Structure 1
Amino acid sequence: MATVDVDQSSAEVEHRPRTDVPVFAVAAGLALAFLLYGAIDSEGFAKTGGSILGWITGNFGWFFVLSSGAFVVFSMFLAFTRYGNIKLGPDEMEPEFSTFSWVSMMFATGMGIGLMFYGVAEPLTHLNTPPMGLAEPGSDKAAHLAMEYTFFHWGFHPWAMYAVIGLAIAYFAYRKGRGNLISAAFYPLLGKRVEGPAGKTIDILAILATLFGSATSLGLGALQITGGLANVFGRQPYGKVAAAVVIAVLTACFVLSAVSGVDKGIKWLSNANAIAAALLVFFIFVVGPTVFILGTFTESIGGYLTQLPAMSFRTGVFGGADWLSGWTIFYWAWWVSWTPFVGMFIARISKGRTIRQFVVFVILIPSLVSFMWFSILGGAAFDLQLREGKDMKAMLDAGVETTLFGTLRSFPLATVTVSLAVFLIAIFFITGADSASIVMGMLSQRGHEEPNRLMVIFWGVSTGAIAAVLLFANGLSALQTGVIIVGFPFLIILIGLCVSLWKSLREEPFESTLRPRLRSTLRSQGREIDELEEDIEELEAIVRNRTQPTES
């Protein structure tokens, strides 16, 4: 059985104050300073942010690209070697949630709101403005590139980032008993220093990354909801004031959901979201260009897998750097900024799973669902432009947040589907933001799985306030700038987590790396693990002797 390796007794931990005052005070102070700067001098705020952004993307774009590819390789290695048999918890622990609820919650939390915003907008944008100018706009080659890069931005790479941080947190929290904090996962590298300034700095950065990542999503969601409401009621697009009102309403909703806990609000909303999203895309698949969508999915999967190595390491050094900064680097930074709360949340709901189950379900299943999502919504939009002759570029020029609704208007029951889409955007955001609020509360209160409600409310309201400031500062551009700036330092923490996890996994006892069925069989037969290792050594010696050349 896995041993629990704890440096402090439970009694000592319980007698410490629940709130980690230095972590909370510094994180809250920095968030407040950001709010005041953005509110008082929005023009200067946008200019400063743009300068920092240019420096990061100009000097460290290669770092984002190289690191994201390494996360994919590392997570797959862990899954498909003997380490994949290790459980995230004691060997006898069973999963807490059903597979459907588990996948629904991780998917809704991981990127649900982004899929709604970019489901039509990204493929259509790349079709009409091909990546790095590698094709003629609106051509067949542009269509290939559009879907391949869309799959690239939403497939294995982002989910691998979630997987490595989720694995590290779950492994150290539930198998090693070190606590539900990101800093706790650095114990093999930092030792007792995880309790000092180094560990607290890690948790502060995690809070800030979570805050900006979820604020960016809230801003995108608010823009799209206002666009959807204008579409439903046949009005001109609403302005920033309407978006701020939407942010306030959504903030109140996700705070209420968050204080109800994971087992109630988040679980129920995630399951409802999964069903409603499936109904929407299934309807478009049936009433839309079904054969064209199936062909788009099949061909795009092949193109994505074929071009994956080249896309994974393209930095733009020979051209196309501006496009990569605006799309690929933005996405990698956005996903990195989401990793603290998505990773902690996925870890929280994955107790009792093996590393192999975790990686397969966290990377492969959501990626496949994302590919289907973009093939249906993006494929339907492609059909309207390439085969039906509809001017989809004009719809893009009117605002990327309205492209989904414009596409839905081209099919039957448009009012129903547009209304359902607005509902989905709201619920997708609520399920993501309430998870973020809980995680920021956990990070502020020493990893407690049920943080104080006032703490959850504070971080939820802060998320809404920062989203509003970013929108008024410079709209979508400011949202992207903020998330890349905060995501950059946290990328270094992600790399450190991989090193720490690998160091600890290599020290796992031999028994833990055996398949669960073999472990239970050995125990039922009363075999000692030492005896098994002796048998294996004897067999290896026999094989070596047989393969050595004999003397003539």
Structure 2
Amino acid sequence: MKDVSKVFWISIVIAIVFVAWGVISPEHLGSVMDVTKSFFLTKFGWFYQLSATFFFVFAIFLIFSRYGKIKLGKDDDVPEFSRPTWFAMLFSAGMGIGLLFFGVSEPISHFVSPPIGEGGTPEAARLALRYTYLHWGFHAWAIYAVIALALAYYKFRKDLPGLMSATLYPIFKERVKGPIGITIDVVAVFATIFGVAASLGLGAQQINGGLNYVFGIPNTFTTQLIIIGIVTILFILSASTGIQKGIKYLSNANMTLAIIIFFLVLFLGPTVFVLNLFTHTFGEYIQNLPSMGLRIAPLYPERLVWVQGWTIFYWAWWIAWAPFVGTFIARVSKGRTVREFVLAVLIIPAVVCAVWFAVFGGTAIHFDYNEGTNIAGQTLETALFYMYEQLPLTNVLVIVTLILISTFFITSADSATFVLGMKTTYGSLNPNTFVKTTWGIILALSAVVLMASGGLSAMQTAIIVSAFPLTLVLFMMCFSLVKDFQKEIKEKKKKMKPNL
């Protein structure tokens, strides 16, 4: 076990303590987490808002800066994966289950309970999609882009380990190899565990909701335990095949199924209405992006609660997911330039996410507003399936969706075990099966504990708390990047300067 780092053993001990706490006293864990969530949302909401906006602005700066031509690798390195496969991996790791879980449920929730004004109105419909674009758009992908860029740059160009701590070498120098570096990497590990565990919990709930809706299988905690158990076995088997097989093939399958479902919903539903709605609301999103991204509403307590429960939670979720998604994106992005990388990671997925939510959320809003259905009255995990009832080919849509949720579930967990393995084996690009299997079990147990101790609320707490120290690390990563980029540009100019 020489390839296993101290970060592995420290993280495993803390994870076991957390899981044991949840098993022995889930009610106590749940109450502690509720108090903690309230504290962070009340006291540090402004911090998450400003942080997300900073990372977005920083990503834009990198696109137009003189650093854009710097390659994430040696000057003669070429990309390992084709662009289509690369994009498929981005979506499977970064947004998979969430697109299906929230595709209908978030826009329709905002439609009946908007951040401003009265629900159920045309204005509420526009706000619903605008704020959904905000939560899943440029800010989210900017966070991923920044951390992935730093990890890829230091791993492939500077030949440092693929660890969060290694990206801070320009600041701490050799001290990153001691307690400071270990602390940073442990923080990243736990942000990954909680961020991914929350998504796995949501996936299990939606699979259960779909099975209940179609086959009458009880929608209970026990059923969700069985689902997590089955999927855990599947993603551990997938993880053992390595990134070139399991994750790659599943990612391409996910993309194919997602495209099929997308076009079925678009063309079976109110196509023209949805396309018009997307065009209008996406333009409003771009126009109002600065004010929406910084909105807190301190003078309106009822609006502040909405911002805390949705926008601030999302910023924390993306930050918590950033070590996982960022490490994975970095791993598959060798050979790209800084400009190509940031453009691809920031813009293309954000636009595709907006189109996805416009089609699914817009279709649901159309039925509730124009035909008096009650999609908004369903639970978060069943709203999608209730919307399918309003469309032709309902059974086909449901079955394909359940398959896609399951494969997204497997791919996300598979990718997470790979990333956690990298973080706890000195940045190894091929962590051994024992390490990945161990993290697979920990992820599954953490998801179960969060579900048992408070469901979505407990998941939100774990995400918000773990994201706080990680945000500080991300700020330092930005500083390190700029410092080394400037150094590289100066060295390049010095080499090009003719000798007199």
TM-score band, normalised by the shorter chain? over 0.9
Asked if the contact 1:86–1:512 (Cα under 8 Å) also holds between the matched residues in 2, the reply is no
Give, in angstroms, the shift of residue 491 of structure 1: 1.1
SS in 2 for 1:272: helix
- The match for 1:429 is 409
User: Could you tell me how far apart the structure 2 residues matched to 1:279 and 1:317 are?
Assistant: 43
Matched residue type, 1:32: I
Q: Distance in 2 between matches of 1:80 and 1:512?
A: 19
The residue that corresponds to 2:298 in the other structure is 317
* Corresponding letter in the other structure for 1:261: G
Partner SS state of residue 347, structure 2:
helix
Q: Which residue of 1 aligns with 2:488?
A: 508
Deviations 1:480-516 (A, max 9, x none): 1111111111111111111111111110135869xxx
Following TM superposition, by how much is the alpha carbon of 1:17 offset from its aligned partner in structure 2, in angstroms? 2.8
Deviation track 1:403-423 (CA, whole Å, cap 9, x = no partner) reads 011111211111111011111
1:434 to partner: Cα distance = 0.8
Q: Secondary structure at the match of 1:474?
A: coil
The 1:259/1:172 distance shift into structure 2, 3 A limit, reads same
Which amino acid is 2:497 matched to?
Answer: D
Of 183, 194, 197, the match for 2:179: 197
- Alignment partner of 2:168 out of 186, 190, 197: 186
Q: Does 1:360 align with 2:343?
A: yes
Does 1:17 pair with 2:2? yes
Tell me what 1:248 maps to. 229
Local SS of the residue matching 1:400: coil
Identity over aligned pairs, percent: 45
Q: Distance in 1 between matches of 2:204 and 2:375?
A: 23
TM-score (norm 1): 0.88
1:375 aligns with 2:388: no
Mapped contact 1:409–1:418 kept (Cα < 8 A): no
Q: C-alpha separation between the residues in 1 aligned to 2:289 and 2:492?
A: 34
Q: Which amino acid aligns with 1:468?
A: V
Distance 2:285 2:217 in 1: 38
CA distance in 2, matches of 1:65, 1:259: 39
Counterpart secondary structure, 2:3: coil
Does 1:288 pair with 2:302? no
Q: Deviations over 1:286-339 (max 9, x none)?
A: 111010010111011111011111111112322222111111111111111111
- Measure the CA separation in 2 of the matches of 1:406 and 1:496: 45
Instruction: In structure 1, give the amino acid aligned to 2:110.
Output: H
Structure 1 residue runs without a partner (length 5+) = 1-15, 514-527, 535-552
Report if the CA contact (8 A) 2:208-2:217 is conserved. no
The yes-or-no answer on 1:65 pairing with 2:49 is: yes
Q: Which amino acid aligns with 2:311?
A: T
The alignment status of 1:462 with 2:442, answered yes or no, reads: yes
Q: Cα deviations across residues 58-79 of structure 1 (Å, max 9, x unaligned)?
A: 1111010001000011111111
Q: For 1:225-264, what aligned pairs fall within 5 Å after superposition? A: 225-233=207-215, 235=216, 237-264=218-245
SS in 2 for 1:401: coil
The residue aligned with 1:145 is: 127
How far apart in 2 are the matches of 1:342 and 1:327? 21
Q: Which amino acid aligns with 1:147?
A: L
Quick check: 1:111 aligned with 2:95? yes
> For 1:194-230, what per-residue CA distance to the aligned partner results, in whole angstroms no more than 9, with x for missing partners?
1000001111111111111110000000000000111
User: 1:544 matched to which residue of 2?
Assistant: none
Against the structure 1 CA distance between its residues 185 and 413, is the aligned structure 2 distance closer, same or farther, given a 3 Å change threshold? same
Given candidates 145, 149, 159, the residue that maps to 1:177 is 159
- TM-score normalized with structure 2 length: 0.97
Task: Write out per-residue CA displacement over residues 410-446 of structure 1, whole angstroms, 9 at most, x where no aligned residue.
Answer: 1111111101111111111211111111111111110
Determine the C-alpha separation between the residues in 2 that align with 1:159 and 1:476.
23
Name the CA distance, whole Å, in 1 between partners of 2:117 and 2:399.
Answer: 36
| Residue type of the alignment partner of 1:161 | I
The residue type equivalent to 1:530 in the other structure is: K
For the 8 Å contact 2:450–2:459, the answer to whether it is kept is yes
Distance 1:511 1:237 in 2: 65
CA distance in 1 between counterparts of 2:376 and 2:253 reads 33
**What is the CA–CA distance in structure 2 between the aligned matches of 1:67 and 1:231, rounded to whole Å?**
40
2:400 partner letter: L
Match of 2:31 in 1: 47
**Structure 2 letter corresponding to 1:386:** Y
The CA distance in 1 between the partners of 2:50 and 2:114, in whole Å, is 23
The residue aligned with 1:11 is: none
**Aligned equivalent of 1:389:** 372
- 2:76 — aligned with what? 92
Name the structure 1 match of 2:109: 125
Residue 78 of structure 2 aligns to a residue in which SS?
coil
Give the secondary-structure state (helix, strand or coil) at the position aligned to 2:452.
helix
Structure 1 residue aligned with 2:496: 529
* CA displacement at 1:52 relative to structure 2: 1.2
Kindly provide the CA deviation profile for residues 20-42 of structure 1, in whole angstroms up to 9, marking residues without a partner as x. 1x211211111111111111111
User: Aligned residue for 1:475?
Assistant: 455
Quote the Cα distance in structure 2 between the aligned partners of 1:329 and 1:250.
Answer: 30
**Contact 1:85/1:512, CA 8 A, preserved across alignment:** no
Match for 1:30: what amino acid?
I
- The CA deviation string for residues 132-165 of structure 1, in whole angstroms up to 9 with x for no partner, is xx12110011111100100000000110000000
SS at match of 1:90: coil
Instruction: Tell me whether 1:306 sits opposite 2:290 in the alignment.
Output: no
CA distance in 2, matches of 1:511, 1:193: 25
Match of 1:12 in 2: none
Q: 1:443 aligns with which of 412, 417, 423?
A: 423
Larger Rg, first or second structure (1 or 2):
1
Take 1:443 and 1:236, find their aligned partners in 2: how far apart are those partners? 39
For 1:355 and 1:135, the matched residues in 2 are separated by 42
